[in-house]
Amino acid sequence: MASLNAVFLFCVVSIIFLLFENAFAMTRQQLKNSGKLMKKSCMPKNDVTEEEIGEIEQGKFIEDRRVMCYISCVYSMTQVIKNNKLNYDAIIKQIDMMFPQELKEPIKAAATNCKDVGKNYKDVCEAAYWMAKCMYDFDPKSFIFP
């Protein structure tokens, strides 16, 4: 029930942001706080522990299918996975809508640098994992992940 509430809340917040586009870019802390809802929903769905996924933002990527699918779940909740594939245009749109001004260009640069990484994988979990890792490797200080 709690994960349904988290998903519902995330959907409502996403709709609000879609309606008002750039008017409500979040701060880094607000992004991290909204990420907690996604984390709370995606962790049990993928049977991962805090020890396995808690340091992704610091570059600790455990090469495990459950971790990969956790990352894919988060990307799905942020609506950057379309038709079971990472969608570069959706990624750029989310960056424009949600990220604070000072992070938009660095995160876009990372996304642009890594946009073709997912094409090397048929599996969306693997594609999401390697995309996230690529973005971290490109610019660790700008990388944000729940």
* Residue 117 belongs to domain with CATH number: 1.10.238.20
Tens digits of per-residue pLDDT, 22-42?
445 677 777 777 788 899 999
Quick check: is 16 in a domain? yes
In a domain, 144, yes or no: no
Count structural domains, the chain: 1
Residue 102 maps to a domain: yes
6 lies in some domain = yes
The answer to the question of residue 131 being in a domain is yes
Asked whether the beta carbons of 2 and 40 are under 8 A apart, the reply is yes
Task: Determine if the pTM surpasses 0.75.
Answer: yes
Tens digit of each residue's pLDDT (9 = 90 or more) over 92-143: 999 998 888 999 999 999 999 999 998 899 999 999 999 999 999 999 999 9
Burial code of 88-123, b = ≥16 C-beta within 10 A, e = fewer? beebbebbebbbeeebbebbbebbeebbebbeebee
**Domain span at residue 61?**
2-138
Residue 145 belongs to a domain: no
